[in-house]
């Protein structure tokens, strides 16, 4: 329980109306998408960068833990106050788009800006911000940067890090830094902005973010391919990407996921299909889009695709995308507890990766439905068990460890977009050597010697 004198000091900085220690707020800010639960000691809403600086300087002096939080939509516990302390919330005040620079095609935003709000604002001006995490309607740009969020358009356009040009941030001692520039090229000094991306709030608190924008493509087309096996579908993925065509998205659902979506929503999906691939292409000329789709269909059919459907209009496109967008919630038909991982491998390793996952499922006699962003090698692997059965839960975690090992053996990584947080911290030793982990810890200590910023995350403690 935090002492009242500390709360009074925070009230003097931001105003009494921006400091909360009542039970309702503590509960509301104790969860994220992991459904794990850790109550903070208080919730504070800074009004501006100066407030953040004063709060951190005071907390650093008195060794009070600070946990920056976006929308709480993360899947790994990165924003959970697992060690107590103060949650910093940005949605109340620091949620403004400060500038959209048409001449240089950049946007300057505060960390609490909702991803979709930024997309809509720039698209009204003919510009485009591509990173589109599944949580885009409520996740914040600050959270996206802290986790290096991806999305379905990553196959063509990349992920959050590819659009961060500069950041303003407050260090744990209260110092304010600006990392990066509003320039296309910048090789002066260390890439501090790059270090802050995906640091999960463990190094500094973001106060302003400058993002690259691009021209908005004039049109998009959607198509779906049906495959007899996952192996053939995965081969079609990397062969398509190597053919000279770069689709906006290349998403897949395996048979278990198809069946779950159909059982839940009754959309007439082909439940005997081994896999579905859903793809988008975009551009400024219809002839170009038609050429891309023709090439994709050619590669698909060469790799066993039995049916290739091109959406005739927006309604058909939404119908095609429905299954992919509703894949995750539908999986509850297989169990009450889901261990959802976002492992990523080189695209050419996808066929073997999925085979290994299904072998793990057979070994433990459980279901592991998979779907995800195969255009960039990112597979959402879902170990499904009965959460009320302790033995099944134990088995699930044994299976997850083997999932991670298979991924690493194939040259992959523990996370493509969800981050490490608390959930994956125990597995960091599988992916990194002692020397590498010590380097991470040295970076953490250089930024945050008193370990007040989001401790116990990413396996750094």
The string of DSSP letters for 329-381 reads: HHGGGG-SEEEEE--B--GGGHHHHHHHHHHHHHHHT-B--EEEEGGGTEEEE
Residues 6+ apart with CB under 8 A from 298: none
- DSSP secondary structure of 178-194: EEE-SSS---SS--HHH
207 to 93, 390, 457: CA distances (angstroms): 11, 43, 21
Q: How confident is the model at residue 461 (pLDDT cuts 50, 70, 90)?
A: confident
| Residue 147 near residue 78, CB atoms below 8 Å | yes
Position 200 scores a pLDDT of 97
- Torsion of the alpha carbons at 400, 413, 33 and 373, rounded to the nearest 10: -100
Which of 156, 348, 157, 346 minimizes the C-alpha distance to 239? 348
Nearby residues of 219 by Cβ (< 8 Å), 6 or more positions away: 282, 283, 284, 286, 289
Dihedral angle computed from the Cα positions of residues 13, 17, 21 and 23, in that order, rounded to the nearest 10 degrees: -170
Residues 6+ apart with CB under 8 A from 73: 32, 33, 135, 138, 139, 143
Is the per-residue pLDDT at 352 higher than 90?
yes
Query: Rounded distance, CA 229 to CA 295, Å?
Result: 21
- Find the mean pLDDT for residues 80-100: 97
pLDDT, tens only, 445-458: 999 999 999 999 99
CA gap 438, 59 in Å, rounded: 26
Under DSSP, the state recorded for 16 is G
pLDDT of residue 136: 95
**Does residue 91 surpass a pLDDT of 90?**
yes
Radius of gyration of the chain (CA): 23
Same fold, 4-89 and 219-328: no
Count of alpha carbons within 13 Å of 221, Cβ hemisphere only?
Answer: 18
Tokens representing 161 are 């890090």
End-to-end CA distance of the chain: 23
Q: Which two tokens stand for residue 206?
A: 């973001």
Residue 103 burial class via C-beta count within 10 angstroms: exposed 0-12, middle 13-18, buried 19 and up: exposed
The answer to whether residue 1 scores a pLDDT higher than 90 is no
One of 3.30.465.10, 3.30.70.2740, 3.40.50.10490, 3.40.50.720 is the CATH number of 335-450, namely 3.30.70.2740
pLDDT at 35: 84
May I ask the CATH class of domain 4-89?
A: alpha beta
Is 241 in a helix, a strand, or coil?
helix
Helix (H, G, I), strand (E, B) or coil at 122: helix
Kindly state the helix (H) or strand (E) to which residue 428 belongs, with its residue range: helix 428-431
CATH assignment of 97-215? 3.30.465.10
Domain ranges of the chain: 4-89, 97-215, 219-328, 335-450
Residue 402 scores a pLDDT above 90: yes
Rounded Cα distance between 67 and 76, Å, is 14
User: How far is the C-alpha of 436 from the C-alpha of 182, rounded, in Å?
Assistant: 31
Two structure tokens written together for 53: 């600086």
pLDDT for 19 equals 98
The CATH class given to the 219-328 domain equals alpha beta
Q: What percent of the chain has pLDDT over 90?
A: 98
DSSP state of 173: T
**198 C-beta neighbours (distance < 10 Å), count:** 20
Q: Any idea which residue has 């579908």 for tokens?
A: 233
pLDDT-derived band at 395, boundaries 50, 70, 90? very high
Query: What distance in Å separates the CA atoms of residue 130 and residue 163, rounded to the nearest whole number?
Result: 9
Mean pLDDT of the chain: 96
pLDDT at 281: 98
Strand order in the sheet with 378-385: 307-310, 219-227, 275-283, 249-254, 370-373, 378-385, 337-341
Question: How many other C-beta atoms lie within 10 A of the C-beta of residue 352?
Answer: 15
Give the pLDDT score at 456: 94
For 110-139, write each residue's pLDDT tens digit: 999 999 999 999 999 999 999 999 899 999
Mean pLDDT computed over 146-160: 95
Query: Which pLDDT band, with edges at 50, 70 and 90, does 318 fall under?
Result: very high
Query: To the nearest whole percent, how much of the chain has pLDDT over 70?
Result: 100
For strands 42-44 and 86-89, give the pairing.
parallel
Degrees, nearest 5: CA angle 335-341-343: 145
Q: For the segment 295-310, what is each residue's pLDDT rounded down to a tens digit?
A: 999 999 999 999 999 9
């Amino acid at each position: 329980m935090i002492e009242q004198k500390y709360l009074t000091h925070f009230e003097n900085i931001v105003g009494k109306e921006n400091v909360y220690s009542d039970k309702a707020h503590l509960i509301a800010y104790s969860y994220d998408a992991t459904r794990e639960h850790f109550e903070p000691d208080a919730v504070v809403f800074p009004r501006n960068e100066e407030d953040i600086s004063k709060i951190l300087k005071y907390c650093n002096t008195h060794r009070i833990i600070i946990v920056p939080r976006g929308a709480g939509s993360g899947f790994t516990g990165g924003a959970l106050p697992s060690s107590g302390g103060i949650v910093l919330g940005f949605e109340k005040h620091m949620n403004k788009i400060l500038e959209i620079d048409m001449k240089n095609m950049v946007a300057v935003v505060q960390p609490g800006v909702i991803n979709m709000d930024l997309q809509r604002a720039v698209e009204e001006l003919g510009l485009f911000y591509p990173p589109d995490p599944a949580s885009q309607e409520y996740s914040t740009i600050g959270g996206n940067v802290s986790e290096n969020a991806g999305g379905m358009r990553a196959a063509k356009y990349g992920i959050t890090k590819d659009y961060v040009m500069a950041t303003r941030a407050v260090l744990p001692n209260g110092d304010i830094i600006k990392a990066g520039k509003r320039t296309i090229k910048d090789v002066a000094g260390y890439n501090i902005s790059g270090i802050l991306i995906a640091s999960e709030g463990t190094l500094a608190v973001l106060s302003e973010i400058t993002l690259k924008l691009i021209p908005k493509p004039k049109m998009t087309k959607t198509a779906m391919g049906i495959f007899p096996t996952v192996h053939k579908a995965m081969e079609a993925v990397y062969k398509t990407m190597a053919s000279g065509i770069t689709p906006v998205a290349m998403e897949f659902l395996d048979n278990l996921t198809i069946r779950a979506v159909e059982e839940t929503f009754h959309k007439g999906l082909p439940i005997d299909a081994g896999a579905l691939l859903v793809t988008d292409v975009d551009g400024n000329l219809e002839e170009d889009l038609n050429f891309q789709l023709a090439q994709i269909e050619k590669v698909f059919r060469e790799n066993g695709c039995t049916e290739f459907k091109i959406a005739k209009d927006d309604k058909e496109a939404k119908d095609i995308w429905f299954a992919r967008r509703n894949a995750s919630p539908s999986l509850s038909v297989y169990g009450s507890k889901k261990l959802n991982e976002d492992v990523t491998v080189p695209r050419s390793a996808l066929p073997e990766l999925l085979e290994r996952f299904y072998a793990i499922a057979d070994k433990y006699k459980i279901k592991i439905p998979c779907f995800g962003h195969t255009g960039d090698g990112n597979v959402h692997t879902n170990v499904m068990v009965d959460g009320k059965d302790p033995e099944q839960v134990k088995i699930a975690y044994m299976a997850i460890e083997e999932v991670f090992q298979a991924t690493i053996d194939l040259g992959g990584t523990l996370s493509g977009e969800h981050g490490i947080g608390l959930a994956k911290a125990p597995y960091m030793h599988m992916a990194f050597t002692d020397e590498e982990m010590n380097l991470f810890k040295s970076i953490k200590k250089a930024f945050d010697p008193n370990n007040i910023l989001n401790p116990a995350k990413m396996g750094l403690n």
